[in-house]
Amino acid sequence: MSLRQKVADKSAVVGVVGLGYVGLPLARAFHQAGFKVMGFDVDESKIVALKEGRNYLKHLGKDFVADMAKSGRFEATANMGRLGEADAVILAVPTPLGPHLEPDMSYVMRTTQDVAKTLRPGQIVVLESTTYPRTTRDDMLPVLEKSGLKCGKDFFLAFSPEREDPGRKDFDTQTIPKLVGGIDQESGQIAYEMYKHAIKSVVLVSSAEVAESAKLLENIFRAINIALVNEMKVVLTAMDIDIWEVVEAAKTKPFGFMAFYPGPGLGGHCIPIDPFYLTWKAREVGHATKFIELAGEINRGMPEYVVHRLMLALNKHGKAIGTSKVLVLGVAYKPDIDDLRESPSFELIEKFKDLGAEVDYNDPHIPETPKVRRHDLKLRSKDLSPEMLASYDAVVIATNHSDYDYALIGKHAKLIVDTRNAMKGFERRDHIVMA
């Protein structure tokens, strides 16, 4: 039976490599569509959890994977030697930056090599990880064709960028429109037909390169506009103008404006990282990406701005930061999730500590700080109480979780540095500093 026939009657086995924020919801989407699904991950703890029907991504809900474990159509494994059992192999692995803001393609290429070892006729391989244009064609394809099989004839290869936004309520994996682009026409068509079973809206573009570039454009658009509003925040704050009210006023225009909001820095896997994939690739072809690099410079400078605002606020209260106790509220990169990737809170805490402050944090979603790419804070979340809040010289709101009792915080904290406009409804303002 041909691969297209297997896709059409849902007898194809779908393998998802990387069972994190992208891969796990995708595996569930194909499972709910009626496919047999194999989940691959090098983290054995995830494999054990999935076999027991336990979900380790809290924002998705406790029962997110329970039906998969009981169905008989889902299997989780750390054995990459079994990749050949899947008819479709979807790669959802990390694409971080190296120490010099260069793309770290080690996860993609290592996984591609694993796929190549078991590649067989009648398989399709799809990359979902965000990367620079021509990764699928120039980097992955030669590795896969070393097997002696030919793309478009023996196996198929496509790119379909993930568009996950953890914690979002109005869209999910199955309802966010999906882009698909193949290395050749047949690869694109098969990938399109496969995703159509699991995703409500699938858009087939002419090539993998178009799909790769579209994903970068989406994220670069956000990074540049966030940098713009962050820069305006710094300028308008110096003029004693409320940037948050300015954004709300601009939003009243029904066309030609899209609201973006300032913050203490960029977090998440996509926006702080993905633009630099194009920056790096642009240099290779002799071009500079001035907008992207300037936006990166502004956004990376926001934690330092928050530190500066805290220091000024403490000085006005007769305190030096080096002798102060500081409480950071929120270490997740966005509200109401437990995702720590590239969270600016980690950098804030380290900067406060470097200046001599005694620093603690509270986050209802993160009981302790794990080791992340550049940080190992070894801290545990402190319980909030009136007495506890009053014991700190300053409270810095870094993440505006909806669980927080902002009236309690406003009443008992001596000094609040608010980076998220979380205290907008609190009437007393003399101890609140916007940053």
Do 401 and 365 lie in a common domain?
A: yes
Asked if residue 419 lies in contact with residue 263, where contact means CB atoms within 8 angstroms, the answer is yes
Least trusted range by pLDDT, from 2-11, 73-82, 117-126, 291-300: 291-300
Using one digit for the tens of pLDDT, what is the confidence trace for 52-104?
989 988 888 878 888 888 899 999 999 999 999 999 999 999 888 777 777 88
Do 286 and 184 lie in a common domain?
A: no
Q: Provide DSSP, 349-373.
A: HHHHHHTT-EEEEE-TT-SBPPP-S
Do 267 and 311 lie in a common domain?
A: yes
Amino acid letter for position 46 = K
Whether residue 389 is predicted with pLDDT greater than 70 in this model: the reply is yes
Q: What is the pTM of this model?
A: 0.91
pLDDT of residue 339: 87
Q: Which two tokens stand for residue 66?
A: 């329970």
In a domain, 330, yes or no: yes
pLDDT of residue 168: 81
How distant, in Å, are the alpha carbons of 351, 355, 380, 425 from that of 416?
Answer: 18, 18, 21, 14
Asked if residue 143 lies in contact with residue 213, where contact means CB atoms within 8 angstroms, the answer is no
Catalytic residue among 270, 384, 432, 434: 270
Do 136 and 59 lie in a common domain?
A: yes
pLDDT band at residue 271 under the 50/70/90 scheme: low
In a domain, 227, yes or no: no
In a domain, 220, yes or no: no
Query: What does the CA dihedral 195, 198, 203, 204 come to, rounded to 10 degrees?
Result: 10
In a domain, 33, yes or no: yes
In a domain, 66, yes or no: yes
In a domain, 22, yes or no: yes
Name the pairing type of β-strands 13-17 and 88-91: parallel
Q: Compute the distance between CA of residue 264 and CA of residue 420 in angstroms, rounded to an integer.
A: 8
Do 166 and 247 lie in a common domain?
A: no
Whether residue 136 is predicted with pLDDT greater than 80 in this model: the reply is yes
- When divided into structural domains, the chain yields a total of 2
CATH number at residue 285: 3.40.50.720
pLDDT of residue 377: 85
pLDDT of residue 270: 67
Give the mean model confidence (pLDDT) for residues 180-194.
Answer: 98
Asked if residue 135 lies in contact with residue 182, where contact means CB atoms within 8 angstroms, the answer is no
In a domain, 233, yes or no: no
CA 380 to chain centre: 23
**Residue 195 lies in domain:** 3-215
Tell me whether residue 151 is one of the annotated catalytic residues.
Answer: no
